[in-house]
Chains A and B, each alone.
Chain A
């Protein structure tokens, strides 16, 4: 296990300077995510333009992996349709959990930096929390998402 594989420059950067961090006033939808194991908590806000996400923001506290993953998420989903987000979720899920995942890393752009996480099984939930929370926000779930 190489730590540099987990804490890649992109991850470290997005942890230090999270993008789209803060509350989105008058959001069309939002959802809360909680990882009781480590205390990570985040709220994800989404605004739509028809079927497409116009803007996504998040706030909360968590480890470097969860903050960076959420920050990368808010950049990646901007302008995507619900269907495109669903496909992206499936790809990220495969990337985080399967060694032989059939994922187009180049197509993922900066999100490919999350591929190191799967070598650290205890940390997969940190990276996936925001993605599950996004799913909840898209389906307008009222129950907070929990990784447990």
Chain B
């Protein structure tokens, strides 16, 4: 692209230069070039506040939770349960008992599949998902169907990557026992208009699970306003640690669900004749939990809130608009996923150049993107591509970095096409 093209700047009052200084990892060079990290949908980076919170926890407060009467155990318990309340507040749940700490979105969905769906479903019942889903919102339901004889139904998507609402209306019915949808597509960036899907499901009394892994990091989420029954997300995509995530569940449903893992912490009393289970949320948290993960997640939420989720969403929309415009100028580039409402995720193909080659060439220019099927093989099949290249943006990315992406793509073209 011509160097004369002026780089667009943000009109949002977000001091990105200052924000970037909060992220130590962004300060490095990769293959001799300043790192341009555009793989945020796979995993985001961590601000120093999160790293420091975890270190400080281990240096001063660590012990096991819910066990000892000693001071450190109390501190650890306060930090862990305090984190739960910070999560509750962040997604506007009504009750900390509705916040279950899990390993991540995948485990959250599996918990609901095994503890909610599996005991309830049988032959003739249906679970409804969409063709947009990440494998984590497909395979757990296939496992349930194998065990129960229930059937998995899939709402098709259209060529823009939008879930077809008319098809949904035809597919949902008296047999439907659960609707499980992505809030935002990881592969295409589609923001699913979940409100209308949930409203229809409500009318029919069908419970709704939302996979919020790609939604929570990029804008405000209010589970009560959404009126969903389950909401799942991962800390590591929202500047928090790996290995921890959240299942929000409506309390009435969680109360009825049996534990899905047994062990310490999830019990009240144990004898060989009879074990009584702990109350919510601990009923679903067997064994020593990821305490430092919860501490890190709480720090990540505080950090995101200090910037403001609305401002993050606004800035990322500007970045997305700019990146979309610039990418469309690249000859032979085709954006896969053109929904009306998108998060800052852009999947694309480049004529004559396989995504894997794009990924390697961009890496030598310091630009990190994801290439492959993005754990959404059915989406790739629908668009009849083996893979795509995907640039996924975060609030710490800049307009200049988009220009670097474009320049690196031009290098790929000059080399291979």
A interface residues (Cβ-Cβ under 8 A, vs B)? 1, 3, 6-7, 12, 15, 36-41, 61-65, 67, 120, 122-123, 126
Which secondary structure characterizes the binding site on chain A? mixed
- Distance between Cα atoms of A3 and B387 in the complex (Å): 22
Can you name the residue of chain B whose Cβ is closest to the Cβ of A60? Answer: B386
B31–A1 contact, CB under 8 A?
yes
With a cutoff of 8 Å between Cβ atoms, the chain B residues found around residue A36 in the complex are: 373
Among A37, A41, A65, the residue within 8 A (CB) of B357 is A65
Q: What are the 7 tightest A-B residue pairs by CB atom distance, in nearest-first order? A: A39-B386, A63-B354, A63-B356, A39-B387, A38-B356, A64-B357, A63-B357
Point out the residues of chain A lying under 8 angstroms from B386, CB to CB.
38-41, 61-62
Interface residues of B in 343-385 (CB under 8 A from A): 353-357, 360-361, 364, 371-373, 380
Chain A residue numbers with a CB within 8 Å of B380 are 39
| Chain A min CB distance to B87 (Å) | 33
Q: Give A62 to B372 CA distance when docked, in angstroms.
A: 11
Do the beta carbons of A38 and B372 come within 8 Å of each other?
A: yes
Q: Which residues of A contact B387 (CB under 8 A)?
A: 38-39
- Distance in angstroms from A71 CB to nearest chain B CB is 14
Query: 1/0 per position for B379-415, CB-CB distance to A under 8 A?
Result: 0100000110000000000000000000000000001
With A and B bound together, what is the CA distance between A61 and B31 in angstroms? 29
> Which residue of B31, B356, B360, B415 has the most chain A CB atoms within 10 A of its CB atom?
B356
- Given known pairs A38-B371, A39-B386, the reply for A6 and B416 (CB within 8 Å) is no
- Shortest B416–chain A CB gap in Å is 6
The chain A residue sitting closest to B358, CB to CB, is A63
- The CA-CA distance from A120 to B356 in the complex, in Å, is 12
Q: Are B364 and A39 in contact (CB under 8 A)?
A: no
A126 touches B416 (CB 8 A): no
Q: Nearest residue in B to A67 (C-beta to C-beta)?
A: B354
B364 — which chain A residues lie within 8 A by C-beta? 1, 3
For B416, give its contact among A12, A37, A41, A123 (CB under 8 Å): A12
CB of A3 within 8 A of CB of B372, answer no
Are B372's CB and A7's CB within 8 A? no
Q: Please measure, in the bound complex, the distance between the C-alpha atom of A12 and the C-alpha atom of B380, giving whole angstroms.
A: 26
Chain A residues whose C-beta falls within 8 Å of the C-beta of B371 in the assembled complex = 38
Residue of A nearest to B386 (CB): A39
A7, A15, A37, A39 — most chain B CB neighbours (10 Å): A39
